Amino acid sequence: MASFEVTGFINTIKYLPDHCLVFIDEFKKGYKKKDGSRIDDRYITWKCIFKPYFKGYIVNHFNNGMLVQVKGEVMPYAIDHEKVVEGYSVIGQTINLASFPKSMIKQEAKMIKESLENTKEMPNLQEHMRPDF
């Protein structure tokens, strides 16, 4: 079994009696080929199947539009209306909220460093150590 990991936005959540389906849209940035043709940006939708014991967790913590990270296993077959068909199945093992990446991490670290270097304030330890009452 192959491991699987995706970070994307929840499109739809379907609750079924024996499992829970979470449809996740993953963004793929477009690119330019060597011959000059352009491949556009696109979304890939993944259908992740979770066992019934995930249902309560998903109901309480996740909604459509949330950015999530899912880890699981990919099976070399798909099941459609209780029949095995050609394709694949993603069996979810974990689902967590994902955080948006910061675009200017270096600039933010530089600003913090400069603000700490330029401060001339000294903490007032005498005032801090005095009794409250």
Residue with the larger pLDDT of the pair 60 and 118:
60
pLDDT tens digits for range 64-123: 989 999 999 998 888 777 788 888 889 999 999 987 766 667 777 787 788 777 767 777
pLDDT tens digits for range 18-49: 889 999 999 888 888 889 899 888 888 888 99
Which SS3 state, helix, strand or coil, does residue 18 take? coil
Contact 69, 14 (CB under 8 A): no
The region, left, alpha or beta by phi > 0 then psi within -120 to 50, assigned to residue 117 is alpha
Contact 37, 66 (CB under 8 A): no
pLDDT surpasses 70 at 133: no
Please tell me the pTM assigned to this model. 0.68
CA dist 36 and 114 (Å) reads 44
Determine the pLDDT at residue 117: 75
Determine the pLDDT at residue 98: 87
